[in-house]
Structure 1
Amino acid sequence: MTTCIDTLFSAWGDPSPESRAAKTDAAIGPDFYYSDPNAPDPIRGRAAYLDYIAQFGAMMPGARAEVVAVSEHHGHLRATVDFTKDGQRMMRGQYFADMSEGRLQRVIGFSGMGEPD
């Protein structure tokens, strides 16, 4: 089953700006909020999010993001996402999301899986 979070992360590394935008539009709702541990500030709105993932593609050509596990309850998602390049995992993160009417409203990411130190 493909979820909206799969669709959202499938845009990462997509070389086509039009395709990235179409995938993003299929996944997010109005007033989209995205907080990434690698961004200095939360990202608000479609345009800012598309700019952010375009920067990812420019800095890491050929890299992509893939949802490897997802669970859902009561309009919330938890996803494990692998960031890969040339078939090698560079980083794994965990994302928590709020949904409304089948679309992502808020996505908050963390590096790693929250392992104890």
Structure 2
Amino acid sequence: MTDSLNILFAAWGDPTPETRAAKTDAAIGPHFYYSDPNTPAPIETRDAYLDYIAQFAAMMPGASAQVVASSEHHGHVRATVDFLKDGALMVRGQYFADLEDGKVVRLIGFPGMGEPD
């Protein structure tokens, strides 16, 4: 049931606020939690999340994010996500999601793939 994760990351590259919101609404559950190293604190509302990805769109016009690999079990998903600009890879990250009724309710991201130091 990783469709919701694909839709959620497709919103990152969407150029319009209305369609970013529609994709986000199609992908997240009623209680949503998001955290990555670039957020000053975890995001716990839909509107705060939409503001966050709007900042990404404003700072990186034409950039996008896409799930390139995922595995799932018992309502949890591990996903590899590529962030692209003009088709070139900027960063690859790993995300861990919790799903309820096929919707993302918790999403935590890390840059890189957790390579040993």
TM-score range, shorter chain: over 0.9
1:20-40: per-residue Cα shift (whole Å, max 9, x none)? 011000100012000011111
Q: Write the deviation string for residues 12-65 of structure 1: whole angstroms up to 9, x where unpaired.
A: 021111110110001000120000111111111110000000000000111000
Q: Aligned letter for 1:79? A: A
SS of alignment partner, residue 13 of structure 2: coil
Match in the other structure for 2:82: 82
Q: Secondary structure at the match of 1:49?
A: helix
Poorly superposed stretches of 4+, deviation over 4 Å: none
Aligned to 2:37: 37
Mapped contact 1:30–1:45 kept (Cα < 8 A): no
The answer for the alignment partner of 1:23 in structure 2 is 23
* Matched ranges for 1:1-117 at <5 A: 3-117=3-117
- Counterpart code for 2:19: S
Q: TM-score, normalising length from structure 1? A: 0.97
Unaligned runs of 5+ in 2: none
Q: Number of paired residues?
A: 117
- Equivalents in 2 of 1:28, 1:2: separation in Å? 12
Output the TM-score relative to the length of structure 2. 0.97
Shift in Å, 1:102: 0.8
Instruction: Give me the CA root mean square deviation.
Output: 1.1
Q: Given that residues 2 and 77 in structure 2 are in contact (C-alpha distance below 8 angstroms), is that contact kept between their aligned partners in structure 1? A: no
CA distance in structure 2 between the partners assigned to 1:102 and 1:21 by the alignment? 18
Tell me by how many angstroms 1:11 deviates. 0.1
